[in-house]
Amino acid sequence: MGAPDALVRDGENASQTILINAAFLQEIKDSNPNLWHAASELRAMCESDEWDAETTTRDHIKQFVRALGELRDLISLQFGLEESYGYLHASGPPPQLAPLQPDFEDVQKQLRQALEQHCRLYLDLCDLVEQSEELQYRGCDRSALLAFAEQVAQFSREMTRHERLEAELIEREL
């Protein structure tokens, strides 16, 4: 999978107006249950109380490598689709309805924030995949595994915040 469009653009014009196709963005989200299942599975791995002395750290790292790699590929596809079809970029002055919306600038800021989060989340996830692969080959002890699991849990919380922001933007437009 390639990087989402936001990662390969060579800069955006800050004066560009961003519009959201809320119905289509929601449809994109609804049509990717594999992503939400993979995210849920990863969250459950981080919160697991089943990590005991009998289960090797190596087995847990292998699970993280698989789960993180799968999530990276699914997020790459998801963000690419969202940016291609759910967010629209309009050159020139804001649409005629913009002056009638008192919170137009705030919404533009939120839309830019959501798009920037795509880039940051994808890159953070790629870093986690790399770290998990390094831990798999280098090996680690239980405390390093727990520290890594906390990093993954932090990523999961950031992803949840991002999804809430997009849900608010969708709700506002519908």
In order of 70, 96, 97, 107, the CA distances from 102 in angstroms are: 42, 13, 10, 10
| C-alpha radius of gyration, the chain, whole number | 19
Q: Quick check: 101 pLDDT over 90?
A: no
Rounded Cα–Cα distance for residues 151 and 148 (Å):
5
Say what the pLDDT of residue 7 is: 41
pLDDT of residue 33: 95
Residue 54 has pLDDT above 60, yes or no: no
pLDDT > 70? residue 9: no
Structural domains of the chain in order of their starting residue, each with its CATH number: 16-92+101-173 (1.20.120)
Q: For position 39, what pLDDT does the model report?
A: 95
- Greater confidence (75 vs 99) lies with 75
A 10 A CB-CB count for 29 gives 19
Average pLDDT taken over every residue of the chain:
86
